[in-house]
Homo-oligomer: A and B are copies of this chain.
Amino acid sequence: MPVLVMKFGGTSVANLDRIRRAAKRVGVEVAKGYDVIVIVSAMSGKTNELVGWVNETSPLYDAREYDAIVSSGENVTAGLMALTLQEMDVPARSWQGWQVPVRTTSAHSAARIEEIPTDNIVAKFSEGMRVAVVAGFQGVSPEGRITTLGRGGSDTTAVAFAAAFEAERCDIYTDVDGVYTTDPRIASKARKLNKIAFEEMLELASLGAKVLQTRSVELAMRYNVKLRVLSSFEEQSDDAGTLVCSEEEIMESNVVSGIAYSRDEAKMTLISVADRPGIAAAIFGPLSEGGVNVDMIIQNISEEGRTDMTFSCPTDQVMRAEKALEGAKERGEINYHDLVADTDVAKVSAVGIGMRSQSGVAAQMFKTLSDEGVNIKVIATSEIKISVLIDRKYMELAVQALHDAFELDKVA
């Protein structure tokens, strides 16, 4: 029988009623003829309780013990989900990470899945079991200790199982009903996308549309796992949610698929840097070592051997960036007159795989912003994305204007 993977996040299994609701959704897919692998998170709030205890006990905790403790939340949900399915006469059992086993690296609290043998679960499917409920977010290290996968780990577990079992699809049930052309709280005309390409989803996810964890999308792209994001709180139709898939499966789409934004960006400018070969490495090396995630970079035209260097980073890393650069200056590695931080900026991006084949997107974006009187401070582009830094007060206006300009409220 074809295999379907279904993943339910913390709010979808927050209490026994919601677990029952989720189990009914699983029952529908079983009735369609699927063997189902259900990946569950901890009941919402449980992980925080456990993490709180760990932090109070040991601020610099042993990550191996952290993993052993925190993984228990998913185990409880897995057992309860299996029992709920059994009550509905659906043959089901729970699996903890070590029982599958989900083999991971030993990087505790941030482990990577290395292998998921399918034989144990396949054997049970062939004996008539219809649902394997697997505790998400966890695995077992080569040393036989429990590992966790870090943030968004349950999404990653789901995609990895879908890849290992060559599942027809991986459905991620969450508290939103899909991926939108932009944030509906900002642009009322925002429209749910029926399909989106992996590459676009990656750009949107990393830009702030936090529906799916980046890592799980990367994994899905690599193994070509069809991902569907949908709400566990609504009745489901056949075209529910958003399908994240390879671009070959998307027949027609708008040039721009979505407008993303990020509020927490800072623009930093090094004034009058001595311009010499290797200067970029001398600046961005210390930043990287200092744990600063540099996003956009621009360098002005050099005059009389000196230039201005501008970059952006998350607002909460500004102090770290200043410390790293001042250190480099003190050590004589770089030389600049001043370091200016502008924390009142936001990033707005247009994303779409159509950009690859269609020109004029950037021009239209700049004209739209100009018509609205929005000044562009920094521009960065990739193959399928154009990002600009602007004053934060114009962010909502810019998102709305671009959404209109690229006609994202209309289906292609």
Q: Let me know if B53 and A65 touch, CB within 8 A.
A: no
* A80 in the interface (beta carbon within 8 A): yes
* Chain A stretch 61-88: residues in CB contact (< 8 A) with chain B: 61-62, 64-66, 68-69, 72-73, 75-76, 78-80, 82-84, 86-87
Residues of B within 8 A of A78 (CB): 68
In the complex, the count of this chain's copies comes to 2
* A144 in the interface (beta carbon within 8 A): yes
Answer whether A82 and B96 are a contact pair too, CB < 8 Å, given A16-B56, A75-B68, A76-B72.
Answer: no
* A188 in the interface (beta carbon within 8 A): no
A57-B87, A65-B93 are known; give 10 further A-B pairs, CB within 8 A.
A57-B83, A62-B93, A64-B93, A65-B80, A65-B86, A68-B75, A68-B94, A68-B96, A69-B76, A72-B76
Q: Pick the most buried of A53, A84, A87, A145: most chain B CB atoms within 10 A of its CB.
A: A53
Q: Let me know if B96 and A83 touch, CB within 8 A.
A: no
Q: Let me know if A80 and B54 touch, CB within 8 A.
A: yes
Q: Let me know if B62 and A82 touch, CB within 8 A.
A: yes
Q: Let me know if B58 and A84 touch, CB within 8 A.
A: yes
What is the size category of the interface that chain A forms with chain B? 35 or more
A347 to chain B, nearest CB (A): 40
Residues of B within 8 A of A16 (CB): 53, 56-57
Q: Let me know if B53 and A80 touch, CB within 8 A.
A: yes
Residues of B within 8 A of A76 (CB): 50, 53, 69, 72
* A19 in the interface (beta carbon within 8 A): yes
The CA-CA distance from A82 to B145 in the complex, in Å, is 14
A24 to chain B, nearest CB (A): 14
* A394 in the interface (beta carbon within 8 A): no
* A236 in the interface (beta carbon within 8 A): no
* A99 in the interface (beta carbon within 8 A): yes
